[in-house]
Amino acid sequence: MMEQRFDTERATPALPRHRARDMTDGGNIAEIELDGQVYTLRITKAGKLILTK
């Protein structure tokens, strides 16, 4: 069996993860701003995410 090693100097950091329910404060809508543009994040009744401008 081959030994696997992890090179911490070359490792890619984990992607940031945000919980949608936390972003909506337990509701189903949040506004997200990016470079002066405001987007709306919605959680549907089916538990899907929709991001609109």
Query: Which residues, 6+ apart, have CB-to-CB distance to 30 below 8 Å?
Result: 20, 23, 24, 40, 41
- Model pLDDT, residue 2: 57
Whether residue 4 has pLDDT greater than 70: no
* SS3 (DSSP) at 22: helix
Label residues 8-43 b or e (16+ Cβ within 10 Å = b): eeeeeeeeeeeeeeeeeeeeeebeeeeeeeeeebeb
| Pairwise CA distance, residues 33 & 35, whole Å | 7
| Verdict on whether the full-model pTM lies above 0.75 | no
pLDDT band at 7 (very low <50, low <70, confident <90, very high): low
